Amino acid sequence: MQDRILIIEDDAETAAAVAEVVAELGCEAHHRATLDDGIAEAGAGDYRVIVLDRMLPGGDGVAAMARIRTAGSRALILVLSALGRAAERVEGLEKGADDYLPKPFEPSELRARLRALLRRGTMQVLDNDLLAFGDLEIRMKARTVHVKRSHVPVSPKEFELITYFARNAGQIVTRMQLLENVWNLHFDPGTNVVDVHVGRLRRKLEEAGSPAIQTARGEGYIFAPLGAAG
Amino acid sequence: MSEAPLRARATLRLAAVMAAAVALLALLAMGLQYRLVETRLMQAQRTLLAADLDGLAALYDQRRIIALREAIAYRAAAPGGEMLVLLDRQGKVLAGTRADWPEGLVAQGQGFTIDPAQEVALDGARWLVVARDLPGGFPLLVGRSLAPVDATLAALQRGMLGLLAALLLAGAGVGWLAARWVMGRIGRLNALADRVAAGDLDARLTGPRSGDEFGLLETHVHAMLDRISNLNRATHRLSDTIAHEMRTPLNRMLQKLSRVEGQDDLAADLRAEMRQAIRVFDSLLDISRAEADQGQGGGLVPVDLSTVAQEVWELYEPLAEDKGLQVGLQVAPGVQVLGDRNLLAQMLANLLDNAIKYCSAGDRLELQLAAGDPALLRVIDTGPGLPDGLKDAAFDRFTRAERDRARGIQGHGLGLALVRAIALRHGARLSLPAVGQGLTVEIAFPRAPGEGGVAG
Q: pLDDT tens, A96-107?
A: 899 999 888 888
Give SS3 for B5: helix
Instruction: Tell me, yes or no, if A185 comes closer than 8 A to chain B by beta carbon.
Output: yes
How is chain B split into domains, by residue range?
4-151, 213-292, 301-445
Exposure on the CB side of residue A210, measured as CA atoms within 13 A: 27
Identify the structural domains of chain A with CATH numbers, from first to last. Answer: 4-122 (3.40.50.2300), 125-223 (1.10.10.10)
What would the CATH number be for the domain defined by B213-292? 1.10.287
**pLDDT tens digits along B238-294:** 776 776 677 777 877 877 887 787 887 888 888 878 877 777 777 777 777 777 776
User: What is the CATH number assigned to the segment(s) B301-445?
Assistant: 3.30.565.10
Average pLDDT, chain B: 83
CB-based contacts of A108, cutoff 8 Å, min separation 6: A172, A174, A218, A219, A220, B258
How high is the pLDDT of residue B402? 64
Whole-number pLDDT of residue A154: 92
- How far is the C-alpha of B336 from the C-alpha of B445, rounded, in Å? 9
Residues on chain A touching B286 (C-beta within 8 angstroms): 85-86
A93 and B CB contact within 8 Å = no
Cβ separation A193–B319 shorter than 8 A: yes
| Under 8 Å between Cβ of A183 and A127 | no
Gap from A26 CA to chain B (nearest CA, Å): 18
* Cα–Cα distances in angstroms (integers) from residue B391 to residues A203, B267, B384, B397, B405, in the given order: 41, 39, 13, 13, 17
Identify whether the C-beta of residue B367 lies closer than 8 Å to the C-beta of residue B313: yes
* Contact list, B345 vs chain A (CB under 8 Å): 185, 187
Written as one letter, the residue type at B252 is R
Percent with pLDDT over 90 in chain B: 18
A:B CB pairs within 8 Å: 104
Angstroms from A192 CA to nearest CA on chain B: 8
Query: Using CA of residue B80, residue B83, residue B89, residue B93, what is the dihedral sign?
Result: positive
Could you tell me the maximum CA-CA distance found in chain B, to the nearest angstrom? 156
The second-level CATH assignment, the architecture, of B4-151 is: 2-Layer Sandwich (3.30)
User: Do residue B255 and residue A188 have CB atoms under 8 angstroms apart?
Assistant: no
- Expressed in angstroms, the distance from the first to the final Cα of chain A is 19
CB within 8 Å: A218 and B268? yes
In whole angstroms, what is the distance from residue B50 CA to residue B40 CA? Answer: 15
Q: Rounded distance, CA A111 to CA A77, Å?
A: 14
Contacts of A196 in chain B (CB under 8 A): 318-319, 322
Sign, CA torsion A185/A189/A194/A196: negative
Instruction: Name the residue type at position B438.
Output: G
Residues A66 and A85: their CA atoms lie apart, in Å, by 22
Judged by CB atoms closer than 8 Å, whether chains meet at B319 and A14 is answered as no
Contacts of B161 (CB under 8 A, 6+ apart): none
The pTM assigned to this predicted structure is 0.62
With a cut of 50, list the residues of chain B below it in pLDDT. Answer: 1-5, 452-456
ipTM: 0.77
pLDDT tens string B186-242: 888 888 888 887 667 778 888 777 788 888 888 899 899 999 888 877 877 777 677
pLDDT in tens, A163-193: 999 888 888 898 888 998 898 888 877 678 8
